[in-house]
Amino acid sequence: MLKRILIHFLAEPVWMPETYKNGTFEGGEDMTDAQKNQIRSMRMHGIGYKAIANSLGLNVDQVHLYCRMNGLAGDGTLVKANYSIWCKQNNRCPVCGEKLRQPKTGRSKKYCSGRCRTRAFRDKCN
């Protein structure tokens, strides 16, 4: 009896917003790539979920879930400090956050494209 309860308890998701059902948010559309980039840049500047949601016209739960899925959750100053480490551990591009496709042989990639590599180099120089 106790095993069944524990297994049932562990099978349920730990956190899911009330407005999130069947893979989409009620009353809101999916985020565009531009909104995702804005969320990433705002979180890197330490802006909170509510302020981001209000400025982009999104649901707070939607912004929070996106941040959790992309290593942007938590205190803004810690996000900025730990984001590069998270990208290396999860095989992501440090500029745009896209999943990297690593070659089978040779040197591993740091950036997803030449565009991101150039942007990172220019940011580093400035």
Neighbours of 60 (CB within 10 A): 16
- Predicted model pTM: 0.61
Which amino acid, one-letter code, is at 108?
S
Query: CA dist 79 to 10, 41, 47, 76, 85, Å?
Result: 28, 11, 10, 5, 10
H helix intervals, 12-113 = 33-44, 49-56, 60-69, 76-89
Could you report the per-residue pLDDT of 12-42, keeping only the tens digit for each? 444 455 555 545 555 456 888 889 989 988 9
